[in-house]
Amino acid sequence: MSTPRTAEARELSDRTGAPGESWASHVSRTTLEWVHGHQDSFRLPDDVLAPHTSVNRTLKPLGELAQLTFSIRERSSPGSQRHRRASALLDFAWEQTGQGRLFLELLRGEPFTTYPLEIYAPFAAADLRHAGFEELAATVCGTHGWARLEQEPNRRLGVLNSERRVGFPPFGKPSAALARTWLGGLPEPWTFERTAGYGLTHVVFHLTDWGNAPHRMPAELDTYLATWLPAWLDTCLEAEQWDLSCELLAVAACVPDDASYSALARSIEAGWARIAAVQDAAGGFPEAGVGRPQEPPRDFANCYHSTLVGAFAATLADVRPAAVRGGVT
Instruction: DSSP for 205-249, please give it.
Output: HHHTTTTT-GGGS-HHHHHHHHHHHHHHHHHHHHTT-HHHHHHHH
| Residues 149-203 pLDDT 10s | 999 999 999 999 999 999 999 888 999 999 999 999 999 999 999 999 999 999 9
Distance CA 318, CA 107 (A): 37
DSSP 33-57: HHHHHTGGGGPPPTTTTSTTS-GGG
Q: How confident is the model at residue 289 (pLDDT cuts 50, 70, 90)?
A: confident
Taking alpha carbons only, the member of 284, 290, 326 closest to residue 309 is: 284
Distance CA 184, CA 165 (A): 22
Angle made by CA atoms 112, 167, 252, in degrees to the nearest 5: 90
- The whole-number pLDDT of residue 13 equals 45
Whether residue 297 has pLDDT greater than 80:
no
Question: What distances in angstroms separate CA 125 from CA 47, 66, 120, 167, 174, one per listed residue?
Answer: 27, 11, 9, 9, 19
Q: How confident is the model at residue 2 (pLDDT cuts 50, 70, 90)?
A: very low
- The whole-number pLDDT of residue 260 equals 92
> In a 10 Å sphere around its CB, with 0-12 CB exposed, 13-18 middle and 19+ buried, how is residue 78 labelled?
exposed
Distance CA 45, CA 111 (A): 22
Q: Are 36 and 88 in contact (CB under 8 A)?
A: yes
Q: How confident is the model at residue 316 (pLDDT cuts 50, 70, 90)?
A: very high
Helix (H, G, I), strand (E, B) or coil at 259: helix
Distance CA 86, CA 70 (A): 7
Whether residue 15 has pLDDT greater than 70:
no
Query: Which one-letter amino acid corresponds to residue 69?
Result: T
Mean pLDDT of the chain: 90
- Count of all residues that appear for the chain in the document: 329
